[in-house]
Amino acid sequence: MTDLPPAPFPLDALPSDQPVPALAGLRRRVPVARQDRRERLRATFGPVARLWHAARRRIRSGLRIARARPVLPVLALCAVPALAAAQAWGPDMALFRIGNAVGVIGGETAIEPMPFEQAGQSFPGSAFYYLAPDAAAGQPLADGAHWEGDSFAGPAARALRAGGTALDRTRALTCLTQAIYYEAASEPDAGQRAVAQVVLNRVAHPAYPKTVCGVVYQGAERTTGCQFTFTCDGALARVPNRLFWQRAETVARAALAGFVYAPVGLSTHYHTIAVHPYWADSLSYVGTIGAHRFYRFGGPAGAPATFNVAAYRGGEPVAAPPPRAAGLTSPDATLDPLAIERAYAQGYNAAQAAALAPVNTVPMSRIGGFGAPPANHPAPAYAPALQARGGDALYTAQTLPEGQGVRPEYAGSGQWIARPGS
């Protein structure tokens, strides 16, 4: 058996319950500082040394713990801070302080802010998150704010699944990813899904194009009036971050596969909480997610029956802004959300009025009765054989009772008994 490595300190440094005469005489001759240090060493390393020598005796007696030999010194040294008393280290305790603990203030440890919580140490786009006190738990961030599991008032949209050719699906995925990335790259998953749902809601609405790219780049041919700001403010010139782009693409792929984000319902408009567009007070407010407030049409324009997801048939244009048209410097009046809402309300009211209008009924006796065809319908041309047998008279019910007119008890058939609303 090979010899074990020597002990990290001599045996004569062990503390003893009985005073040693030689050491007692030595204590009278050494300075007080050295004596105090030796006492600290005894209190610190004494238990560890006894464990060390006990382990050596067990190894030499034949116990099969040879593999533990190189580990025991390391374990002994690592156990020193745990066995030592805190006051025994004195000023050296600074070596074992927690990294962010800068000192003790009023009996409590003062914690230094983490690097990302200090000015100048955070990366662009990062945000600070802190644990709220228990008293403030459950308070919303803003009026109408909702989270992933909450549901807003109003019906949810129906699932829209991308169709068409492979090129159509690729273009739709690209355009929807662009909208999510440039409009909500720093938003949580709920905010990105809400933006994707607004785009698909517009695809299903008759007032907007029937393609994803058409909705995203609608109005971009004008110097002002684009429906999504990034399509005409130069944001597309910036190279996207790969990580954030892949995250936005994941959300877009799920939305085009039929995922419906129900909390935004049938919303077709949104804006950041930093602005207040003119139409915000007129449309129906749905809720706030992250940094965006969402709205839907009121009245017939926002009714669930108005949205038709089956209208999507592919035919996606190029996933890029259309060329700028000369002379188009003002917004398109047909894209005004308030004008769209008013037009649908007027059309609905006109249809309702037409449905309630009186119906001009014509007595059956004026259209030839049951026995003869109407006067404005000429008799068909029969074959010579049928014409010789009587022609049209063969197919006229001349033998029915009252065949040439309407019986008096049925003369008012088809007329109103009582006019609705009268």
Do the beta carbons of residue 286 and residue 296 sit within 8 Å?
yes
Whole-angstrom CA distances from 280 to 39, 190, 232, 350 are: 78, 21, 22, 27
Give the per-residue pLDDT at 280. 92
Give the per-residue pLDDT at 126. 41
The H-assigned helical ranges of 185-217 are 189-204, 212-216
Q: 287 has which bridge partners?
A: 294
- The letter for the amino acid at 291 is A
Burial class (CB in 10 A: 0-12, 13-18, 19+), 184: buried
Q: Which of 29 and 161 is assigned the larger pLDDT?
A: 161
Q: What angle do CA 27, 33, 34 make, to 5 degrees?
A: 55
Please state, rounded to an integer, the average pLDDT across all residues of the chain: 74
- Find tokens 């440039």 and name the residue: 182
Whole-angstrom CA distances from 371 to 283, 328, 367, 401 are: 59, 65, 10, 10
Asked if pLDDT for residue 154 goes beyond 90, the answer is no
Asked if pLDDT for residue 283 goes beyond 70, the answer is yes
Laid out side by side, the sheet with 269-272 consists of 269-272, 292-296, 284-289
Q: 289 has which bridge partners?
A: 292
The kind and range of the H/E element at 254 are helix 242-256
Asked if pLDDT for residue 186 goes beyond 60, the answer is yes
pTM higher than 0.75, yes or no? no
Q: Could you tell me the two tokens for 321? A: 């802004």
Give the per-residue pLDDT at 350. 87
Q: What is the pLDDT of residues 244-262, one digit of tens each?
A: 999 999 999 999 999 999 9
Q: What is the pLDDT of residues 354-395, one digit of tens each?
A: 877 766 555 555 554 454 545 566 778 888 888 888 888 887
Q: What is the pLDDT of residues 393-412, one digit of tens each?
A: 887 766 666 555 677 777 77
Give the per-residue pLDDT at 284. 92
